[in-house]
Structure 1
Amino acid sequence: MLGAIVGDIIGSAYEFNNTKRKEFHLFTPKSKFTDDTVMTLAVARWLCGDKEHRKETLVRHMQELGRRYPTAGYGGSFMRWLHNPEPQPYNSYGNGSAMRVSPVAFYAHSLQEALGLAKISAEVTHNHPEGIKGAQAIASSIYLARHGATKREIKSYAEEQFHYDLSPQLDDIRPTYSYDMSCQNTVPQALLAFLEGANFEDVIRIAVSLGGDSDTIAAMAGSIAQAFYGIPQNLASYCYALLTPYLRTILNKFEESIGVLTPDPFDIERFIKAQNDDNTYQQALKEILQGHKTSHWIWYIFPQLKGLGHSTYSQYYGLADTDEARTFLANPCLNERLREITNALLIYKDRNIERLMGSSIDALKLKSSMTLFDAISPNDIFSKVLDVFYDGKKDRNTLQIISKTFNGHISNN
């Protein structure tokens, strides 16, 4: 189901700023998870926690998670349902039923079970026949893709069972396609994006380039593409990092329950690769031991939180939060190197930090990095750097970001 989350996050920046081109930035400062992700994870939590798969349990999980993330972008009718003490289905044929259904296809042990669970997951809100059909079409396509069906077979099944017309070419649809939230006018488009795509990323790019409800179309198409192609590590880890710790926990438990093991979901190995390329870490250590930074390596030697910089490097090597920072520090190689080069800094305790780091900007990045690691490992070598070079003062912006993500709560704006 991570494919749905990746599609949601990539499409989020273009939902109300549509693009009709496949060439666009996959991630921007506006990229975020939306209601598609939150409700997908609510379904996953239901599947893990209630083996009887009762509707009332699903409703409880959806309401609890929806209220926890109130700014995720819910529609008006669904928002009222979220806060209703006695919520009832409201005959919707919107694509909310199809956007959240992917976990059932990864959980189910048979096609019939996938169809049955999809129906239950839809009916608590979207009990209109089109709402149920949309959820079942996406779920069955994922299930078939997981079990080796060809695109031709998936297409035939969707056409025969759900009577969707999958004959049009998206190049013919794209110019006049506009915003539509109904299952009947988004599920076929998501299926076509999957059918026309050459790989996972291509499927997402095609889905977003249609315009309209881009995050939901990409979420639906991405969920099928994951089952068919898998997800590139760089896309998976980037989106995983954009989830809150609370949502990551739900995702991890679900994947564990279905036997999916992801040993490095943050892709912490990207730091080791960058440090090893051209012997960069040894060069960085040499510069610090000589008392003056002269080359460019700050992002992956002294990483700071994502969002504090705007360059491609700062986004790619930015740490999502204290969870990812702990994972960084738990890696034996990165832990040893970070402490070694931090100790090297302290050799020059009487030197101006801007001179030592080569610029005021890198001195500020170092302060941010030390503030972050001090937050997860207090009274350690990181606090010594803050005491020696910054008069014990910590980076305020880093502390603000940490406080926003405390206990898994984060603003989704």
Structure 2
Amino acid sequence: MLGAIIGDIVGSAYEFNNTKKKDFHLFTPKSKFTDDTVMTLAVAEWLTVDKEHSKEGLVLRMQTLGRQYPTAGYGGSFMRWLYNQKPEPYNSCGNGSAMRVSPVAFYAHSLDEALTLATISAEVTHNHPEGIKGARAVASAIYLARAGASKEEIKTYVEENFQYDLNLQLDDIRPTYVYDMTCQKTVPQAILSFLESEGFEDAIRLAVSLGGDSDTIAAMAGSIAQAFYGVPRKLATCCYALLTPGLRAILNDFEEMMGCRAADPFDIERFIEAQNAGNAYQQALEEMRRGHKTTHWIWYVFPQLKGLGRSVYAQYYGLADMEEARTYLACPVLNERLYEISNAVLAHADGEVETVMGSHVDAMKLRSSMTLFDAVRPNDVFGKVLDAFYHGNKDERTLREIGQNV
């Protein structure tokens, strides 16, 4: 299921700014989850909570979760359904049925169960035969990949049971392919992106490179690719961090039920690895004890919120929100080191922060880092650093991002 979320987030930046090349940035400042992710997680919550797998239970969870994210990018017909007091299916053949189906294929204990659940998940809105077929085709491809089927076996099954032509080549489709939201014109393309791929990331890049409804095509291709290849940890971490705490909780509960929840979904270990490489943390601590920063380590020793900086390091080592900051402090090694080096900085309270940090830019980064951790643990060393060097003035961008008053 995380494969669908990754595909959605990667493709989101290119849906209305199509690229026809595989060589593009996987993540940009515009990368975000869309309705594809929200509805995929609504289906996951349905499977986790509603043991009867009733249509009524699915509608409830889709409407409840969907209304929490009203600007996620729903189509007009679905938006009306979302807020209807008596929602009825509206005979759609759109790809909304296929983009949200992946949880049922990871949940199912048999191919028949995957097909049955896929039908239920589609019919509550997309009860057009093509809408149901698209959901069943994607679900079967995922289930077969999970079960160890080869690409040729998956291709044969889909062709024989759903009559999609999978003998085309993406290079032949790409030049004239245009935006289309129907299952008929996106599901085969998503499956072909998986079939031609050489790995998970390659499947996502192929799907996006077609253009058109790139986030949804990549979500479908990514869900099949996850079942076949697995998901690279770095991609999983980046996309997990872009979810809200509420959406993460649904994902966590589903993966817990499936017995595949990651022990460290934020990949907090990346900070320890960076700090240990070349003895970087000890070097940073010595510099702070001397009162003057001279080498480059700010991103992974005093992390700030993701998005405040634009460099690759700032993005990779940026913390998603207060939840990830709490997770950071819950790590005994990182907790001890952050307190130790913050106190080392505080020992120079009679000096200028730009001198201690080596530049105005790094002084600003320290301020944003201390503001974030002070929000998690007020009245502690982080607040003392802010008082000593910044007259108690916190970083306003950080406060706005975490929803605190400026």
TM-score range for the pair, normalised by the shorter chain length: over 0.9
SS of 1:227's partner is helix
Q: Please state how far the C-alpha of 1:387 moved relative to its aligned partner.
A: 1.0
What pairs up with 1:68-217 in 2 under 5 angstroms? Answer: 68-217=68-217
Q: Please state how far the C-alpha of 1:380 moved relative to its aligned partner.
A: 1.1
Cross-structure match for 1:283? 283
Give me the whole-angstrom Cα distance separating, in 1, the residues matched to 2:232 and 2:380: 36
1:60 is the counterpart of 2:64:
no
Q: Please state how far the C-alpha of 1:78 moved relative to its aligned partner.
A: 0.4
1:338 is the counterpart of 2:334:
no
Q: Please state how far the C-alpha of 1:261 moved relative to its aligned partner.
A: 2.6
Cross-structure match for 1:245? 245
Paired amino acid for 2:255: E
1:32 is the counterpart of 2:32:
yes
Cross-structure match for 1:382? 382
Q: Please state how far the C-alpha of 1:347 moved relative to its aligned partner.
A: 1.1
Give me the whole-angstrom Cα distance separating, in 2, the residues matched to 1:201 and 1:279: 32
Structure 1 stretches (4+) deviating beyond 2 angstroms?
A: none
Where structure 1 has 5 or more consecutive residues not aligned to the other structure, the ranges are 405-413
Give me the whole-angstrom Cα distance separating, in 2, the residues matched to 1:352 and 1:330: 31
Q: TM-score, normalised by structure 1?
A: 0.97
Paired amino acid for 1:277: A
SS of 2:403's partner is helix
Give me the whole-angstrom Cα distance separating, in 2, the residues matched to 1:394 and 1:64: 36
Cross-structure match for 2:6? 6
What pairs up with 1:346-361 in 2 under 5 angstroms? Answer: 346-361=346-361
Give me the whole-angstrom Cα distance separating, in 2, the residues matched to 1:221 and 1:367: 42
SS of 1:345's partner is helix
Give me the whole-angstrom Cα distance separating, in 2, the residues matched to 1:279 and 1:327: 23
Cross-structure match for 2:299? 299
SS of 2:98's partner is helix
Give me the whole-angstrom Cα distance separating, in 2, the residues matched to 1:397 and 1:21: 35
The 10-residue stretch of structure 1 (233-242 or 357-366) with the greater mean CA deviation from structure 2? 357-366
Number of matched pairs: 404
**Cα deviation per residue 1:346-378 (whole Å; 9 max; x = unaligned)?**
111101111111111111110100010011111
Paired amino acid for 2:368: S
Give me the whole-angstrom Cα distance separating, in 1, the residues matched to 2:67 and 2:316: 31
SS of 1:167's partner is coil
Q: Please state how far the C-alpha of 1:325 moved relative to its aligned partner.
A: 0.6
Give me the whole-angstrom Cα distance separating, in 2, the residues matched to 1:261 and 1:219: 20
Cross-structure match for 2:262? 262
Cross-structure match for 2:234? 234
SS of 2:402's partner is helix
Give me the whole-angstrom Cα distance separating, in 1, the residues matched to 2:264 and 2:225: 21
**Cα deviation per residue 1:274-293 (whole Å; 9 max; x = unaligned)?**
11111111111111111100
Paired amino acid for 1:22: K
Where structure 2 has 5 or more consecutive residues not aligned to the other structure, the ranges are none
**Cα deviation per residue 1:310-356 (whole Å; 9 max; x = unaligned)?**
11111111000001111111111111111111110111110111111
Give me the whole-angstrom Cα distance separating, in 1, the residues matched to 2:143 and 2:28: 31
**Cα deviation per residue 1:134-189 (whole Å; 9 max; x = unaligned)?**
00000011000001000000000000010100000100000000000000100000
What pairs up with 1:390-409 in 2 under 5 angstroms? Answer: 390-403=390-403
SS of 1:184's partner is coil
Q: Please state how far the C-alpha of 1:24 moved relative to its aligned partner.
A: 0.2
SS of 2:63's partner is helix
Cross-structure match for 2:313? 313
Paired amino acid for 2:196: E
Paired amino acid for 1:307: G
Identity rate, percent? 75
**Cα deviation per residue 1:72-104 (whole Å; 9 max; x = unaligned)?**
000000001001110100000000000000000
Give me the whole-angstrom Cα distance separating, in 2, the residues matched to 1:6 and 1:18: 17
Q: TM-score, normalised by structure 2?
A: 0.99
Paired amino acid for 1:261: R
Cross-structure match for 2:21? 21
Paired amino acid for 1:244: T
The 10-residue stretch of structure 1 (88-97 or 323-332) with the greater mean CA deviation from structure 2? 323-332
SS of 2:263's partner is coil
Root-mean-square deviation (Å) = 0.7
